[in-house]
Structure formats: C-alpha cells, structure tokens
Amino acid sequence: MRSHPDLPTEPNARIGRPRSAEADRAILAATRAALVELGWSKLTMGDVATRAGVAKTTLYRRWAGKSELVVDAVAVLFDELELPDLGSLVADVEAMVLRFAALLERPETRTAMMAVVAEATRDEALRKRIRVAIVDRQKVLVLQGRARAQARGELPYERDPVTAAHNADLIFDVIAGAVVHRTLVSAEPVDPAWARRFTRLLLHGASAVTPRP
Amino acid sequence: MRSHPDLPTEPNARIGRPRSAEADRAILAATRAALVELGWSKLTMGDVATRAGVAKTTLYRRWAGKSELVVDAVAVLFDELELPDLGSLVADVEAMVLRFAALLERPETRTAMMAVVAEATRDEALRKRIRVAIVDRQKVLVLQGRARAQARGELPYERDPVTAAHNADLIFDVIAGAVVHRTLVSAEPVDPAWARRFTRLLLHGASAVTPRP
Amino acid sequence: MRSHPDLPTEPNARIGRPRSAEADRAILAATRAALVELGWSKLTMGDVATRAGVAKTTLYRRWAGKSELVVDAVAVLFDELELPDLGSLVADVEAMVLRFAALLERPETRTAMMAVVAEATRDEALRKRIRVAIVDRQKVLVLQGRARAQARGELPYERDPVTAAHNADLIFDVIAGAVVHRTLVSAEPVDPAWARRFTRLLLHGASAVTPRP
Amino acid sequence: MRSHPDLPTEPNARIGRPRSAEADRAILAATRAALVELGWSKLTMGDVATRAGVAKTTLYRRWAGKSELVVDAVAVLFDELELPDLGSLVADVEAMVLRFAALLERPETRTAMMAVVAEATRDEALRKRIRVAIVDRQKVLVLQGRARAQARGELPYERDPVTAAHNADLIFDVIAGAVVHRTLVSAEPVDPAWARRFTRLLLHGASAVTPRP
DNA sequence: GCATAAACGAGACGGTACGTCTAGTCTTACT
DNA sequence: AGTAAGACTAGACGTACCGTCTCGTTTATGC
C-alpha cells in the first residue's frame, strides 16, 4: 500500500483536472453511513464507493486505506463538541462529560474510535493523523475549561508552563479515558448520576466520593 | 458462524479421541506470537494454525473466530497483574498503575485490547467474554485495594453496598481508562512521574495537583 | 502470476481433499460457452467462474491464466477431427480440409486459436502447451493420411526417415496454414469448390490449377 | 467507444490548431517499440502515450483503440516487401518466401499480426482495416509475380478473369498461410531448405517432393 | 493584432477485471 | 471422534488500464 496519498503534491497542483470537492463530501458522508449500518469490520471500500456514487479508485487516490478514510470521516463529528458555560466548573465538567458520552453512544463513533486506535498501535503515521484530527480537537476543550475556571477564580494560575501542560494532559487523559472506558469497555451508560460522581472524584479525589460522616 | 464451540459438550465428552491439550497451548502461544509480529488486522487464522503446527479445523473446533481466539490468548497475560502491598494506599496505587502500564506496553496486549474492544461494540457475546476474561480480572484488584486500605484505616467503610459497588466501578474506570488512554490514544509513556501525579489527582482531586501556595 | 500450477504436485497427491473432477468439467464447458458469447478479449475469469458455479480461486488453482485455460478448453474440440476413408487420397484430403474448415467456423475455435497463438509468441511454456494440446493432435492426421495413401499405392514410400518427417511437416503447414489463412485472415469461406482447387494444387502443383488445354 | 475518429472530419479541417504530424510519427514509433518489448497483451495505451511524450487524449483523437493503432503501426512494415526479379519463377518464389518469413521473425510483427487477426474475428470494421492496410499489400505481390511469370512464359494466361482471381487468391492463401503457420504455430524456422521444398511443392505438387525414382 | 477554434499536456473520473488473500466449511484418509 | 491436509465457496483487497472528462495552455488561421 502506498503510504499516504491524501495531500495532492503541492508544486504541480495547478495542472490537470482538479479533484472533485463534491466527491470528497459524498465519500465522507457515505463512510459515516456505512459505519453506522455495518460497523468497522464489515465496512468495505467498495461499498463506500458505491454508496458515494464514486469509483473505488477515487477513494484510493485520496486515502491510503480504510483506517485513514474512517479517521477523516469521523473527525468532523468531534467538531460539534463545545464547552458549555454554565457558570461553575462543576456544572461545566458534568455537562462536558455527558456530551462526550453522548458522542460515544453514536454507532459511527463507537466502533470507529477503538478500531482506529487499535490499528494505530502499529502505524505511526496513522497515530499522528488521529492526534491531529481527533485528540487535539478535544484537548483544546480542557484548556478552555481551565482558563474559564481560572477566570472565575475556581482554579489557581499555574506559574510553570511545563507543569501547566502536564496537568492539562493528565486531566484530559482522566476525563476522556474514564468516559471511553465506561462506555466501551465496561459497556455501561454514562448517565447524569455517574457524571456527578465522576466530577466529584475528579475535583476532590477519592476520599470525597464516600464522604466521612 | 456457529455460536461458540469453545467448551466441549459435556455429555459425550468421554467418547472418541480426546482433544489434544498440547494443541491448545501451541495455538494460544502461536496467537500471541503472531499478534506481536503482525498486529490484529494482519493476523490470520491460517497463519496461526501453521505456526502452531495444527490444522485450521482444529482452531475452529475450539474457537468461533479470530476475536474469541485472541481474547483467550491475551487473557492469561492479565493474570500476572497482582496488587502489591507496599504499606500505603498511595504507594499501592502508584505501583499498580505502573504495572498495568507495563502490561499495555507489550505489543501483544497493545493491539489486542483495543481491537477486541472495537470488535465487541457490535457483538454482545464477545463483550461478555471480554468482561469475564479480562475486565473482571482487573476489577478484583480495585476491590482488594480498597479492602486493604480500609483495613489500614486509610479509607472509610461504605455502609450501602450499592454505593460501594458504584464507587468501585467508578474508580476502576478512572484508573484503567486513564492509563489506557494515556498509553494508546495520547501515545505517551506512563512513567513514575505521571503515576505520582495521577495518584495524587485520584486521591485528592484536581485542586491538589496544582497546590495553592 | 505463479508460472503454471496445473498439475497437482505428484508426491503428496494423496493427502487432503482431492480436486473435484466435476468442477474441471464445468469450468471447461463454461469457458467454451463464454468464448462463443463474448469472444476472447471480453471473456473474463470471473465470468467463467460464475458460469461454472465455482469460485475464482478454483480456476486459479488449476490454470495460471486465461490463455492456459482457453487452450485446454478448446483442445478437446480438435479430438473430433478424424481422417475419413473415402477410398482415394484426393477425396480424403478434400474431406479433411472441409472438416477442418468447419471446425474453424465455430466461434469458440475462431477467436481462441489466433488469440492463443498471439499470446504464445511471448511465452515458450504456452507454446509448448499449444503444441501438445492442439498441433500434435492434427499432425497425426497427416501421418495417417500418408500411410493410407502409401498402402493404396498412391504415394511412394520414403526411405530416409528425416526426409519423410520434413515432408510431413511441410504438408501439414501447407494444409493447416492455407485453411486457417483463408478462413481467418482472408475471411472467405472454405467451400467444396475451394477445397477441390486447393487439393489439386497440393497434389499436382500450381501449373495444374489452370490446366493448359 | 466512438466508432472511428481517425480522419479529421473534412469540413472544418482548416480552422483551429492543426494536428501535429510529429505526434503521429512519435506515436507509431512508440507503438512498435512497445510491441517489441511487451507484446500485444501487455501493451497499454497509457504506456504508448508516455513513450511518445504525448497525452492519452492525443492517441484517442486519432485512433479508436489499441487494435486500430497497432494495425496502422505495423502496416508500414509490410511496405518493405518487394518482389525480387531473379529471372525465374522458382527463384522469385523462394526469395519471396524468405523475405516474408524474415518479416514475421521480427517481434513487432509476430505478436501484432496474430493478435490483431484474433481481435478481428469479432469486428468487421477492424477486419476491413487489416485487409486494406496489410493483406492487400501482400496480395499485389502474388499478382505481380504471376504477371511476370506469364511474361516469361512460365505460366499460361488464364482467359476467365473469375478463375484467374480465384487462383491468385488460392495461391496467396497457400503461400502466406504456410509461412505464417510454420513460423508462428509450428514455431519452426523458415530457412532456405524449407523454402526450396515448399516452392517445389507449390509449383509441382506433393508427388514432386518425394520424387519417384 | 486579436479573436476564434481546435489541438495539446496533465491528470481526475467512473468502470471493469485482475490475481491474491482470508474466512470459514467440507472432504479425504489416518490416528 | 479427533486430526492434518488441502480443496471448496464467497467476497474484499489494492492495482492497472480503459476510454472519457475537464482543466489551463498553445498554436494555427482569419477577420
């Protein structure tokens, strides 16, 4: 398999017939639809092409394989994630957790995420693609949330930028990890009650969830 | 696909040539080896059979498919996870996190876990198998850890058994989720420093990681 | 493409499931049918497989490609060529020419022969296959015809076996070549009148066809 | 496929940019080169275009497909065939046979001829093109040869023009057929010895090749 | 000298077939 | 009955060409 066509080589990007933007849209939409109906493992390139009303070659001209295509197709779904402003850190985190969980309930996201991550364990390029297309999109929300909480006076300002980055990363992994694990591995619902308990744990620690009388 | 051969039907288990236990071991070992070399998506039943010096039929007589085989092959790896007793809850959690992360660094675990989870999003039977073979094995450790901490007086006893169960589940999802996410999605190492920061967050909350001067 | 699977490797020909003779017959029949309907260039392996009610792999397990398959499929048609015994060399040759022409009129033979020969100009193995499967089958008829004519006293016995072989080859190329060329290149019919003129030319030379009064 | 572009439609042939004669030459040369290297079946329009330093569109503007292109590319090779005048019919025929055989030894002619003929069995238009471009070019030689032999008194004049035409056609099919069959089907060389034996057969018949003592 | 009209290069497009691979089943003969 | 071997159906894979199309550019003429 060729590494990653994807980006048209810049220098001679002006000559020849230009790529159809219409096709791009149709393919990504078809991919999401197929993902919902069939799941990752039964989704085939040929089927996506047919649904999109496009030739298989047109897919392969843009994406190197199933993984790359699905990452791009699913990435846009994460754009709808926005940080709510409910006036307090607790409320914001709870709402955020619920929104993220709702996204993971959707069948196209469910399978896609884990499958793509699994595939990425063997493929650095794919890992980077996931980071750029999905992970970084979410990480921004943590940074926004912290900034807002600091502005409200709910969190202190961290002087050392390295420590600040570390903390943001840590909190991001804890939130995303817990929600993903609960939803996909434990396979149990993230409901408002769970979100409340989780938020309390996140903000005040394990000792806070079973408060000493 | 036949549902799940797996266990030899009990009644007539005595007649005919008995199944080779040697074959079982060889197959599982071959599966792990193939997983390391090829990763989930390029691992094939035929290849595993060849490596194990066994006919494909023999595989299908014992497992219904790739997913089931891999789950069983990988499950034993989780048996080596044991809760250390280092005298304090903090030390125990930190050590546990590091051991779990070390397990996830190993290539056979890396790919297998996520891939199998991805596959399971569409398959309730597989989900159950994962729960029994892998998830529950880990969850026990959380319960052990809590019991030990309660014995030491580091954690209060929870009266309500429902609440107790909820809390154990929550803490399990947070620990496992954070480590898995850090390792496989963020693709960054779980080193002692991260383990320390994470443990502090887990026990005392977000406010504790950037302590107010 | 692997060179030429075709013959099952002899040594271990006893173990495993034996090849289906039924499939062989169905495939060759389907190939001839497809050849009639579609012609060489539009005949596809996939289509033949479908017609034969067989998987594509089953074709490729036996034949290396289209050319090899078609040669074998068409070869049997040449088995029906038999030397008539009409009592005289002239009558025998005329009848033979007409039968051979009739064979070449059939659509499956028409395209197949030339196309396969064309393909063979680049492929020694294929050339050999054609020789064994088709050419030698026809050459025998020339030898039979000569022997019969010699027995009748219509032709002298040639003492030198090398000269005898040369002559047989020459006559074979002239008969087969003329009929093929007339039929496929000049694209004109080989009717009894042409057969009579040709036979006179063959037996008595160019000067005999326009006899001096 | 559009029927046969080939000739620029006459009416508006004067306006717009004229077709490049340079391109025509380059394409035909490239076709012959590709034919030598790759043979008919592996020759592709795209490859010919690249070799000729020309866009694929430029090919399709002139020829309807591979067959048409190859016929034209190969046809010129037959122009070099000329009837030698060695003073006697026997010598002329022998020389002619050797020249024709030499032409068929050349790889571009070898494959092209048979492949194109094979293709033509399903395509009347292509058949006509072959007749005009190749076959008729050769047939003239037979007519020339006969006229010369008649002038020399080696052959009688045929009164009936229909019979004369029939005879010319017959002799043409026998000569061309025998040489082509010997070269491409029997895959054996046409050397001077064979040419001598063939000529004797052609002029005096089968009884002459193994002369009665 | 400037518009017109066709040819040109490049390359994307919808298709079709290729030959390979894997899944999971079935058929032999052997253990 | 279990087993190794290997043939079987089914269907996806990624590639290669086909012949067409759509660009932007070039090159003749004719007004």
Identify the pLDDT of residue C5: 59
Residue B195's Cβ-count burial label (10 Å; 0-12, 13-18, 19+) is: buried
Range name among A34-48, B86-100, D118-132 with the lowest pLDDT average: D118-132
Identify the pLDDT of residue D55: 97
Nearest to A209 among B167, B173, B188 (CB): B167
Smallest CA-to-CA distance from A115 within B184, B108, B68, B116 is with B116
Mean pLDDT of A110-124: 86
Identify the pLDDT of residue C210: 62
**Contact across the interface for B170 and A198, Cβ inside 8 Å:** yes
Identify the pLDDT of residue B116: 85
Identify the pLDDT of residue D12: 56
Q: Quick check: C8 pLDDT over 70?
A: no
The answer to whether the CB of C92 falls within 8 A of the CB of C84 is: yes
Distance CA C93, CA B98 (A): 93
**Percent above pLDDT 70 for chain B:** 89
- Given pLDDT bands bounded at 50, 70 and 90, which one contains residue C6? low
Which residues 2-61 of B are in CB contact (within 8 Å) with A?
39-41
Helix/strand/coil for A3: coil
Closest nucleotide (CA of C9 to C1')?
Answer: F6
**Average pLDDT value for chain A:** 90
Which residues 122-151 of A are in CB contact (within 8 Å) with B?
122, 127, 130-131, 135
Q: Quick check: D46 pLDDT over 70?
A: yes
- Given pLDDT bands bounded at 50, 70 and 90, which one contains residue B7? very low
Identify the pLDDT of residue D6: 55
F30 C1' – D12 CA distance, angstroms?
13
For the CA atoms of chain D, what is the radius of gyration? 20
Q: Does B115 touch chain A (CB under 8 A)?
A: yes
> Which residue gives the smallest C-alpha to C1' distance to F30?
D15
CA distances (Å), origin C135, targets B34, C113, C179, D210: 51, 11, 14, 24
Mean pLDDT of C107-115: 87
Q: Which domains does chain D possess?
A: 75-209 (1.10.357.10)
Q: Quick check: B149 pLDDT over 60?
A: yes
Smallest CA-to-CA distance from B109 within B186, B177, B35, B47 is with B35
The answer to whether the CB of B175 falls within 8 A of the CB of A184 is: no
Residue with tokens 């290396």: C64
- Given pLDDT bands bounded at 50, 70 and 90, which one contains residue A17? very high
Mean pLDDT of B83-101: 95
Helix/strand/coil for C123: coil
Nearest to A122 among B39, B186, B207 (CB): B39
Q: Quick check: B77 pLDDT over 60?
A: yes
Mean pLDDT of A39-60: 96
Nearest to A170 among B130, B169, B198 (CB): B198
Q: Does A159 touch chain B (CB under 8 A)?
A: no
Identify the pLDDT of residue D9: 46
Identify the pLDDT of residue A12: 58
Considering only CB atoms, which chain D residues are within 8 Å of C184? 117, 121
E24 C1' – B56 CA distance, angstroms?
9
| Number of DSSP helices (H) and strands (E) in chain A, helices first | 11, 0
CB atoms within 10 A of CB C114: 26
Residues recorded for chain D: 213
Q: Does B152 touch chain A (CB under 8 A)?
A: no
* Residues whose CB is less than 8 angstroms from the CB of residue A151 and which lie 6 or more positions away in sequence, other chains included: none
Considering only CB atoms, which chain D residues are within 8 Å of C163? 210
Range name among A85-99, B64-78, B109-123, D38-52 with the lowest pLDDT average: B109-123
pLDDT per residue as tens digits for the range A143-196: 999 999 999 999 999 889 999 999 999 999 999 999 999 999 998 999 999 999
Q: Quick check: B170 pLDDT over 90?
A: yes
| Encoded amino acid at C98, one letter | L
Q: Quick check: D79 pLDDT over 60?
A: yes
The answer to whether the CB of C80 falls within 8 A of the CB of D90 is: no
CA distances (Å), origin D100, targets B148, D94, D108, D178: 100, 10, 14, 11
Considering only CB atoms, which chain D residues are within 8 Å of C160? none
Distance CA D36, CA D25 (A): 17
Residues recorded for chain C: 213
- Given pLDDT bands bounded at 50, 70 and 90, which one contains residue B11? very low
Question: Higher confidence at residue C53 or residue A113?
Answer: C53
Mean pLDDT of B29-51: 94
Smallest CA-to-CA distance from D5 within D17, D15, D19 is with D19
**Percent above pLDDT 70 for chain A:** 92
Identify the pLDDT of residue C87: 92
Q: Which of B96, B114, B160 to mutate to test the interface with A (most CBs of A within 10 A)?
A: B114
User: In sequence order, what DSSP letters do the residues of A41-78 get, joined into one string?
Assistant: TT--HHHHHHHHT--HHHHHHH-SSHHHHHHHHHHGGG
**Average pLDDT value for chain C:** 90
Mean pLDDT of B70-98: 93
The answer to whether the CB of A111 falls within 8 A of the CB of B121 is: yes
Q: Quick check: D176 pLDDT over 90?
A: yes
E9 C1' – D25 CA distance, angstroms?
18
Nearest to D187 among C127, C166, C184 (CB): C127
- Given pLDDT bands bounded at 50, 70 and 90, which one contains residue B15? low
Considering only CB atoms, which chain B residues are within 8 Å of A176? 177, 181, 185
Q: Quick check: C4 pLDDT over 60?
A: no
Question: Higher confidence at residue D69 or residue B1?
Answer: D69
Identify the pLDDT of residue A212: 44
**Average pLDDT value for chain B:** 88
Which residues 184-213 of D are in CB contact (within 8 Å) with C?
184-188, 194, 197-198, 201-210, 212-213
Q: Which of residues 39-58 of C touch strand F (CB under 7 A)?
A: 53-58
CB atoms within 10 A of CB D167: 20
Identify the pLDDT of residue B3: 43
Stretch (H or E) spanning D72 = helix D66-75
Q: Is the distance between the Cβ of A46 and the closest atom of strand F smaller than 7 Å?
A: yes
